[in-house]
Structure 1
Amino acid sequence: MNRFGRLNTLRNQIFLGFMLVMVIVLALVGAFVYEQVSVLLRNSAEKHIQQTAVQATGKLDALLKQVDTLTAQVSTNATVQRFLTQETEGKPITFGERQSLQQEVRKYEAYATGIRSLELYTTDYRRLFPLDEGSLASRVRGEWIAMADEGMGKLVWFGQDPRDQDVVVAMRRVRLVDQSFAHGGYLLVRLEKSYFELADSAGDTGQSREAMGLFDQAGHEISSDFDVTVNSKEILHREGETVTIGNEDYIAVQKQSEATGWTLVILTPVDYTTEGISVLRTAVIVSGAVGALLFLILSFILTTMIIRPILKMIKSMRGARFGTLKPISVTSKTMEINELTNTYNQMVDSLNELIEVVYQKELIQSRTELKALQAQINPHFLFNTLEAFYWALDDQGEEELAQIVVAMSGLFRYVINRKDEDEWVMIGDELDHAERYLIIMKMRMLDRLSWRIEADEASRAVPIPKLLIQPIVENAILHGVEQRLGPGTVIVRAQPSERPGHTVVSVSDDGPGMDGETLASLYASMEKGHVPSSKNSGVGLSNVEQRLRLYYDAGQAGLCIQSEAGAGTTISFEIPNVYRRNPGEEETHEDDIDRG
């Protein structure tokens, strides 16, 4: 035994198994505790960040509300309303009126901070003030104008001005109060980005080193206090994720303004959210090491207690290899070891009994095989005897009797001499077997029996289970021809069915037939598996019916009996030309059917 074999003992396996389980458990518990506490610390930091975001969002909403209130006052100013009404009525205002309108609006600008300019446009996008001849269509994009129209008088925020990156643009549609709030023009407001500085609302950001950024719908930066230039695509739509800016990792928290659709992003360094985790990591490692040491000592003691009784049992069991199995005595005080010893003793008793049973079965099997060899000789003796009768009759000129002996020999050989697994034959083989049976029956019935077999070559080559046709022919003779007062005829046919790929086999007689009640009783008896009859055992037709349903589709296969009182009887069945033993596997007579 090599060194590894000597080390591969039950004690070492239990010891290593315990240690492995301990390491896995401690590792999983340590990882779980570490992860959960880390999550708690991070969640606490994120709550602080969320609170900061709520405060910043509140200030942003207040700033937006101020602008909304200012623009609402301008759009509802009596002078603005009067001049826009005049414009909508097709009466352009004069340059002097435009100057007075601008002076009126300047009064509102004086009370607001951060507003770079207010611009007023007519419904056809002409600028009324400032006093230059500008156009709203050349000032902003068409979709912005459409958004202002959809706002129906509400202030719509667009974000960064395409012409001036330091300016934010918003616009509202002016509605004429005296004209049933009809469309009167557009008021465009341009604000400095510095108006939206939010850093002061975060409280003491120096301790947490938080950074804020405000971005419009297109991702353009409106305001931020980031130390480095940040690509908005790297931080937007990454709520709760870790992003890397420069050489430092940040956790991103986002808030979106319902009024503007702008996104407020607050970035907090990961180091800030994970403060105290290093102490937790050290505590988990020390606790795991102490637990491993204690488990190592306890595992050694436990394995020693388990293995010592088993080693004693092994020494007692080794003697069983040199002779008859013998039980061993129970010496351990441990319940499990005692149970193991008792089980071993029971196994020894059972094995001794089984050895005796196997020995007796071997004797019986040998005798059975001898009888089977003797049984194989008997059919050959029968065939040889019939062959001797045939040649003796042929030498004496008894050709008719000789043919009957040949038919009988073929009948027995067909039934007895085939292998058990050779269950499938051709319809032609079955018809030949039925003809031999008819020849033998004619010897008994003489001129009272005549027959006719009709089958084309294609139908004769269709595969069929063995011994399906002969029982029906036998039934036609016993219950048809023999019941007539005069001669009778049996007709056996095999022909293509009206269904493509199927063949119909029928056996007809001109016997007395059956009435409807008798026919129904016959069907019911076949369902039960036995047909009452005084001529034979009554299982021939039932056997054929059950075999058809076993070999073929039970919903379609089966015997069809057509009979009328005084008009004879026809029994038929329909089978497919190709038999499928397994789904998707076709077996044809060329490949799998032994023709005998």
Structure 2
Amino acid sequence: MSKFLRFNTLRNQILLGFMLVMIIVLASVGFFTFGQVSVLLSNNAEKHIQQTAVQATGKLDALLQQINTLTAQVAMSATTQRLLSEEMAGVPISFTDRQLLQQEVRKYEAYATGIRSLELYTADYRRLLPLDDFRLTERVSSEWIDRVDEQMGRLVWFGLDPQNPDGVIAIRSIRLIDQSFSHAGYLMVHIEKSYFELAEATEREMRESMGLFDQSGKTIFSDFPQEVDSRMLLSHVGESITIDGTSYIAIQKQSEATGWTLAILTPMSYVTEGISVLRTTILVSGVVGGLLFLIFTLILSTMITRPILNLIKAMRGARFGTLKTSPITSTTMEIHELNNSYNQMVVDLNELIEVVYEKEILQSRTELKALQAQINPHFLFNTLEAFYWELEDKGEEELAQIVVAMSGLFRYVITKMDEDEWVTLGDELDHAERYLKIMAMRMMDRLSWRIEADEDCRRVPVPKLLIQPLVENAILHGVEQRVGPGTVILRVEQASRPGFTRVTVQDDGPGMDQERLRYLYAVMRKGHVSATKGHGIGMVNVERRLRLSFDSSTEGLEIKSEKGQGTTVSFEIPNEYGSDMSHEDDTYRG
């Protein structure tokens, strides 16, 4: 029985059902369609692409041959040969002869289509036609001129005109027939780009798109549906490429005469016109597979849901009383384990209910004690308030103000412990002022103090109780250690760094030597003070809170002190940092 449960799992049942469905559907579709569709697509695509390439190449060769024939006639004409022969013999061509030559060339231009102009140059690159003093070296580079010389009178196709991108130029050298075909000059033909359109408008709408690119990849002619990068197009030759949401097959053919590349994009939809056979096969296979899938799904769902429904009935019964276990009725491993897990959960829940009940009783007692503990701070504040009014009635205004300062001091430290521990610098300065008032009363004439703060700095957020320990430290280790009266100055101002505020606590006490100063920096870096020495606890705590609250935005405490010169402790904090501070009225001011 255990061996049967090991293999009779829900995963195996679902896997077996889906596997049967997929094998039946894929075998039917693949066996029926593979042979017919592969042959159909292969023959259709090969026939169409080859036919298109042959036709386009033949038409391009015919256009190129027309230009080649025309330029050859101009170069071999009697007038051209005679004038260039005289030029080679040292007899300059007169302006009248140039006009005569221009008329001769215009006759050829009149009977040719697509030719914008013909330009004639001497062997030393001077232009004879048109009638100006332009030089061949100013039209094309010397590299191309050398290439023309190497071709010995054959037409060399340059590509797009660098001075006029709307046209294409080709050059051939002129050879004198009666002088052993010696080099006598150059003939340049300037052709319109529209001359190389290889497809009619009706053909473009239904079938392929064509593009003609020169040796540098610049477009001479293109009827692609949108602008296409020639390098990207030529890198996908023989592959499928998507342009403007339409898939194409890209092929190319290079012209031997010009070195140009003819690229043809054939729509995939046109190539696969015979795909209807595949579509019908897929539909039939889909219907058959869908029926089989439905049957097996019904069987599997019945096998799965029946034991689960029994478990659901047991769970619903738990709403009406104590949780009870469910009997095991399924032989499927997963359902069997699910039922066991439910029964174990019922046992655990019954135990948790009892534990929670006891914890609620304990929590109620704890809350009662917490409410009683809250009476103590209120009693302290009410007592201080009564002292204040009593002193006011007796005219003891100075003592009354001290009581108010003590009340504000306690209220600032004790209250709102559950709220955000961030306050404003204004709150901290008011708290330090109350502390200084109390200490001034205790020390009488030995302590004088003042607070200097920019109004804009009072809204800067800081952690609570950050400044008071430094003021306390200045009084304890500065003023009280001094013979005679002393002064404590608390200054808040804009730092030299933009966006930062500087807080400084200064006293005129006995100061510290360098050894004591190095010790303070060492314990601040360590983060705690040893129990045997115990000095600098307040400064260590302030240093740690600065590092924890402002991360790398602060450099910590900066201590400056010399023996007999007093001590200055300062730090810089960013103006915007920490918890979101509501700029409401100060609730801590007493």
**By the TM > 0.5 criterion, same fold?**
yes
Which residue in the other structure is 1:458 paired with?
455
Q: Is residue 316–residue 328 contact of structure 1 (8 Å, CA) maintained in 2?
A: yes
Which residue in the other structure is 1:48 paired with?
47
2:219 is the counterpart of 1:218:
no
Q: In 2, Cα distance between the equivalents of 1:421 and 1:78?
A: 107
The residue type paired with residue 472 of structure 1 is: L
Q: Is residue 217–residue 261 contact of structure 1 (8 Å, CA) maintained in 2?
A: no
Q: In 1, Cα distance between the equivalents of 2:268 and 2:505?
A: 94
Structure 1 position 384, deviation (Å): 2.8
Distance 1:375 1:79, change over 3 A: closer
Which residue in the other structure is 1:517 paired with?
515
Q: In 1, Cα distance between the equivalents of 2:119 and 2:79?
A: 24
Distance 1:371 1:172, change over 3 A: same
Which residue in the other structure is 1:508 paired with?
506
Q: In 2, Cα distance between the equivalents of 1:74 and 1:437?
A: 109
Q: In 2, Cα distance between the equivalents of 1:345 and 1:62?
A: 90
* TM-score in terms of structure 2 length: 0.64
2:555 is the counterpart of 1:554:
no
Q: In 2, Cα distance between the equivalents of 1:70 and 1:460?
A: 88
Moved more, 270-279 or 371-380: 270-279
Q: Pairwise mapping of residues 255-334 of structure 1 onto structure 2 (< 5 A)?
A: 257-259=255-257, 277-334=275-332
Which residue in the other structure is 2:175 paired with?
175
The residue type paired with residue 496 of structure 1 is: E
The residue type paired with residue 335 of structure 1 is: M
Q: Is residue 176–residue 182 contact of structure 2 (8 Å, CA) maintained in 1?
A: yes
Which residue in the other structure is 2:85 paired with?
85
Deviations 1:158-190 (A, max 9, x none): 9xxxxxxxxxxx9954224858943257699xx
Structure 1 position 42, deviation (Å): 3.2
Q: Pairwise mapping of residues 249-260 of structure 1 onto structure 2 (< 5 A)?
A: 257-259=255-257
Structure 1 position 520, deviation (Å): 1.9
Q: Is residue 496–residue 502 contact of structure 1 (8 Å, CA) maintained in 2?
A: no
Q: Is residue 123–residue 186 contact of structure 1 (8 Å, CA) maintained in 2?
A: no
Query: Residue 330 of structure 1: SS of its match in structure 2?
Result: coil
Distance 1:316 1:419, change over 3 A: closer
Unaligned runs of 5+ in 1: 1-13, 94-121, 128-132, 159-169, 189-215, 242-249
CA RMSD of aligned residues (A): 5.7
Q: In 1, Cα distance between the equivalents of 2:309 and 2:441?
A: 84
2:122 is the counterpart of 1:136:
no
Q: In 2, Cα distance between the equivalents of 1:389 and 1:361?
A: 43
Distance 1:443 1:594, change over 3 A: closer
Query: Residue 453 of structure 1: SS of its match in structure 2?
Result: strand
Q: Pairwise mapping of residues 84-103 of structure 1 onto structure 2 (< 5 A)?
A: 85-86=85-86, 88-89=88-89
| Percent of aligned pairs sharing the same letter | 55
Which residue in the other structure is 1:493 paired with?
490
Q: Is residue 208–residue 266 contact of structure 2 (8 Å, CA) maintained in 1?
A: no
Q: In 2, Cα distance between the equivalents of 1:274 and 1:498?
A: 75
Query: Residue 374 of structure 2: SS of its match in structure 1?
Result: helix
Q: Is residue 328–residue 345 contact of structure 1 (8 Å, CA) maintained in 2?
A: yes
2:357 is the counterpart of 1:359:
yes
Which residue in the other structure is 1:421 paired with?
419
Q: Pairwise mapping of residues 96-135 of structure 1 onto structure 2 (< 5 A)?
A: 124=98, 126=100, 134-135=103-104
Q: How many residue pairs are counted as aligned between the two chains? A: 492
Structure 1 position 136, deviation (Å): 0.6
The residue type paired with residue 561 of structure 2 is: S
Distance 1:466 1:49, change over 3 A: closer
Structure 1 position 323, deviation (Å): 1.0
The residue type paired with residue 303 of structure 1 is: S
Structure 1 position 337, deviation (Å): 0.9
Unaligned runs of 5+ in 2: 1-12, 110-114, 123-135, 137-144, 159-169, 212-223, 225-236, 240-247
Structure 1 position 564, deviation (Å): 1.0
Q: In 2, Cα distance between the equivalents of 1:489 and 1:252?
A: 92
2:570 is the counterpart of 1:572:
yes
Q: Is residue 508–residue 567 contact of structure 2 (8 Å, CA) maintained in 1?
A: yes
Distance 1:146 1:262, change over 3 A: farther
Structure 1 position 385, deviation (Å): 2.9
The residue type paired with residue 174 of structure 1 is: I
Which residue in the other structure is 1:195 paired with?
none
Q: Is residue 514–residue 564 contact of structure 1 (8 Å, CA) maintained in 2?
A: yes
Q: Is residue 251–residue 267 contact of structure 1 (8 Å, CA) maintained in 2?
A: yes
Q: In 1, Cα distance between the equivalents of 2:264 and 2:401?
A: 110
Deviations 1:402-461 (A, max 9, x none): 6654543333233224564264555555444334434544565555x3121232573784
Query: Residue 327 of structure 1: SS of its match in structure 2?
Result: coil
The residue type paired with residue 467 of structure 1 is: L
The residue type paired with residue 367 of structure 2 is: E
Q: In 2, Cα distance between the equivalents of 1:31 and 1:592?
A: 80
Deviations 1:481-521 (A, max 9, x none): 3334x334131332534636665433333333211122122
Query: Residue 326 of structure 2: SS of its match in structure 1?
Result: coil
Q: Pairwise mapping of residues 227-238 of structure 1 onto structure 2 (< 5 A)?
A: 236-237=210-211
* TM-score in terms of structure 1 length: 0.63
Q: In 1, Cα distance between the equivalents of 2:321 and 2:490?
A: 72
Which residue in the other structure is 2:243 paired with?
none
Distance 1:505 1:359, change over 3 A: same
Distance 1:470 1:535, change over 3 A: farther
Q: In 2, Cα distance between the equivalents of 1:336 and 1:293?
A: 28
Query: Residue 194 of structure 2: SS of its match in structure 1?
Result: coil
Moved more, 522-531 or 73-82: 73-82
Deviations 1:163-219 (A, max 9, x none): xxxxxxx9954224858943257699xxxxxxxxxxxxxxxxxxxxxxxxxxx9635
Q: Is residue 254–residue 266 contact of structure 1 (8 Å, CA) maintained in 2?
A: yes
Deviations 1:284-315 (A, max 9, x none): 33333333333333222222222222233333
Distance 1:37 1:51, change over 3 A: same
2:345 is the counterpart of 1:347:
yes
Distance 1:30 1:573, change over 3 A: same
Q: Pairwise mapping of residues 428-447 of structure 1 onto structure 2 (< 5 A)?
A: 429-441=427-439, 445=443
Query: Residue 480 of structure 2: SS of its match in structure 1?
Result: helix
The residue type paired with residue 104 of structure 2 is: S
Structure 1 position 258, deviation (Å): 3.5
The residue type paired with residue 455 of structure 2 is: A
Structure 1 position 349, deviation (Å): 2.7
